[in-house]
């Protein structure tokens, strides 16, 4: 009898573990889709590819669906399995990460919409903007990819290395903004298109912010340390302590 109970308990635990790893898989799938959305959106803008921009708009719906689906799974798992400690942390961490992924998707959508609105007006200095956008996008997408990778391995130490170790994105962003302002001042006819480039840069900077949030959620998920308002130094210390 006791043996049977143990068997049932073991079965429940196994099932729960499977559900948790399915949850992470779904999160990574959503992450992959969102990464593609940012990539496509940037490419559509840089190459003035309105067809690709429209595809990004259409896929936005899929991102939203995944958002709702994963969130429901989180609620269902908490309600049914009543997890504590690390399992609960994992589920809540996933729930928060989904929100950031969804907002990265939003920014991709905004960039795609810029492509469509730019298609209707003549470009000035488009080339300058393109290289700036490409440059910043490379950094941001690369960081997103690294964090998703770390998520797949639930590796918080790797995350600390990636997160906040450099201010590159911020510096690139500020430099690009300054350059666009210079262009505007030198040739006021470029103001409108330069502004569009600036909005795209701003969106990419936002993506970078959300990637940082993802890193923080992952550290919380794995280590149980809330590092959202810590400096890099505090963050390293806190993660070491655990």
Residues 39, 72: Cα–Cα separation, whole Å: 28
Number of residues engaging its own copies in binding (CB under 8 A): 30
Q: Is residue 56 classed as helix, strand or coil in its secondary structure?
A: helix
Q: How far is the CB of 219 from its own copies (least distance, A)?
A: 14
Q: Does 85 engage in binding with its own copies (CB under 8 A)?
A: yes
Q: How far is the CB of 2 from its own copies (least distance, A)?
A: 25
Residue 126 or 191 with smaller CB distance to its own copies = 191
Dihedral sign, Cα of residue 9, residue 13, residue 14, residue 15? positive
Residues 229, 5: Cα–Cα separation, whole Å: 45
Q: Does 88 engage in binding with its own copies (CB under 8 A)?
A: yes
Report the 3 state secondary structure along 159-208: HHHHCCCCCHHHHHHHHHHHHHHHHHHHCHHHHHHHHHHHHHHHHHHHHH
Q: How far is the CB of 75 from its own copies (least distance, A)?
A: 6
Binding mask 204-233 for its own copies (x = CB under 8 A): ----------------------x-xx----
Interface positions, 97-126, toward its own copies (CB under 8 A): 99
| Percent helix, percent strand, percent coil in the chain, to nearest 5 | 85, 0, 15
Q: Does 185 engage in binding with its own copies (CB under 8 A)?
A: yes
Q: How far is the CB of 229 from its own copies (least distance, A)?
A: 4
Give the residues lining the site for its own copies (CB under 8 A): 61, 64-65, 67-68, 71-72, 75, 78-79, 82, 84-85, 88-89, 92, 95-96, 99, 181, 184-185, 188, 191-192, 195, 202, 226, 228-229
């Amino acid at each position: 009898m006791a043996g049977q109970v143990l068997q049932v308990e073991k079965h429940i635990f196994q099932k729960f573990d499977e559900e948790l790893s399915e949850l992470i898989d779904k999160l990574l799938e959503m992450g992959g889709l969102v990464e593609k959305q940012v990539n496509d959106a940037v490419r559509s803008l840089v190459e003035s590819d309105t067809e690709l921009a429209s595809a990004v708009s259409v896929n936005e719906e899929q991102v939203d669906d995944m958002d709702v689906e994963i969130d429901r799974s989180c609620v269902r798992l908490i309600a049914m399995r009543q997890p504590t400690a690390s399992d609960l942390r994992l589920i809540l961490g996933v729930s928060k990460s989904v929100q950031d992924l969804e907002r990265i998707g939003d920014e991709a959508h905004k960039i795609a919409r810029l492509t469509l609105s730019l298609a209707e007006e003549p470009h000035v200095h488009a080339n300058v903007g393109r290289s700036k956008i490409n440059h910043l996008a490379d950094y941001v997408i690369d960081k997103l990819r690294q964090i998703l990778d770390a998520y797949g391995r639930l590796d918080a130490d790797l995350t600390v290395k990636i997160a906040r170790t450099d201010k590159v994105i911020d510096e690139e962003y500020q430099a690009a903004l300054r350059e666009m302002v210079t262009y505007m001042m030198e040739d006021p006819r470029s103001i409108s298109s330069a502004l569009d480039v600036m909005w795209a840069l701003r969106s990419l900077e936002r993506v970078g912010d959300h990637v940082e949030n993802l890193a923080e959620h992952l550290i919380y998920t794995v280590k149980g340390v809330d590092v959202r308002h810590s400096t890099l130094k505090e963050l390293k210390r806190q993660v070491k302590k655990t």
